[in-house]
Chain A
Amino acid sequence: MGDLKLNYEVDGGDLIQAGEASSKMKMTLKKLGLPPEVIRRASICMYEGEINMVIHADGGQVEVDVGMDTITIRLTDHGPGIPDVDQAMEEGFSTAGDVARDLGFGAGMGLPNMKRCSDDMQIDTQVGVGTTVTMKIHIN
């Protein structure tokens, strides 16, 4: 049996409504009967990423690949890129604006939390071109 592939478009326009793609992914993973802890970690990774995409990059695309051993979540945007990835990975560092903060985000915890909740995370980014974040979550 091949991997299950899921694709989502993340609309950049509305931070208040963001999270729909993560919610759909979570429901699909539940239907597959994966362990709850794995589902939760994957959901946090994707939700943090989805929120980041809406805050910083006017949306983007998410590809989720559910294999026998690993869930791979790849978030691709065409936003401004991350000038200093090491700085962006520091807890507490954030460039999010007031809209994000008013909704309870922008604490500078997103990327570190994505790294913590995944088993592997890679960030490919180019200023002025966009960012791709790839996270792997092992199922067993």
Chain B
Amino acid sequence: MDLFEIRDILNATVLCGEEYLDREVRSACASDFMSDVLAYVKDQALLLTGMVNPQVVRTAEMMDMKCIIFVRGKMPGEDILELAREREIVVMRSEMRMFIACGLLYSRGLAGE
């Protein structure tokens, strides 16, 4: 599934990395706890979170993730977007709640593992 499709499924707004939406992702993880992302995630290239701070981008960077989606309408600040731009990580936001966003992506074929 590419990031164009994910954007459309979640009715999301792309905040940075528009030029990388053709990236393919095969699995995702969802957490507000960066400790758990660092400890449990393996090859999931997509992170859904309601946590908004620069450490979300740092965590995604360390885990080689390609895209962060802020759910529940959370709006990251310019400092967060700047960090993501430097690291070529796509950032989107969606008004959907975490459970709904995950459920939609899962039902359309995106795996958790």
B49 nearest CB neighbor, chain A only: A104
Complex formed: what's the CA distance from A17 to B35 in Å? 16
Count of chain B residues with Cβ under 8 Å from any Cβ of A? 20
Q: Which of B34, B61, B63, B64 contacts A104 (CB 8 A)?
A: B34
What residues of chain A lie closer than 8 Å to B38, measured between beta carbons? 44, 47-48, 109, 113
7 tightest Cβ-Cβ pairs between the two chains A and B: A107-B35, A104-B34, A19-B58, A109-B39, A109-B35, A43-B62, A113-B39
Place the interface of chain A in its size category: 20 to 34
What residues of chain A lie closer than 8 Å to B37, measured between beta carbons? 104
* Contact status B56-A104, CB under 8 Å: yes
Tell me the interface secondary structure of chain A in the complex. helix
**Which residues of B are at the interface with A, using a C-beta cutoff of 8 A?**
32-39, 51, 53-56, 58-59, 61-64, 87
Tell me the interface secondary structure of chain B in the complex. helix
Complex formed: what's the CA distance from A19 to B54 in Å? 9
Complex formed: what's the CA distance from A43 to B55 in Å? 14
What residues of chain A lie closer than 8 Å to B62, measured between beta carbons? 19, 22, 26, 40, 43-44, 47
Q: Which of B54, B56, B64 contacts A36 (CB 8 A)?
A: B64
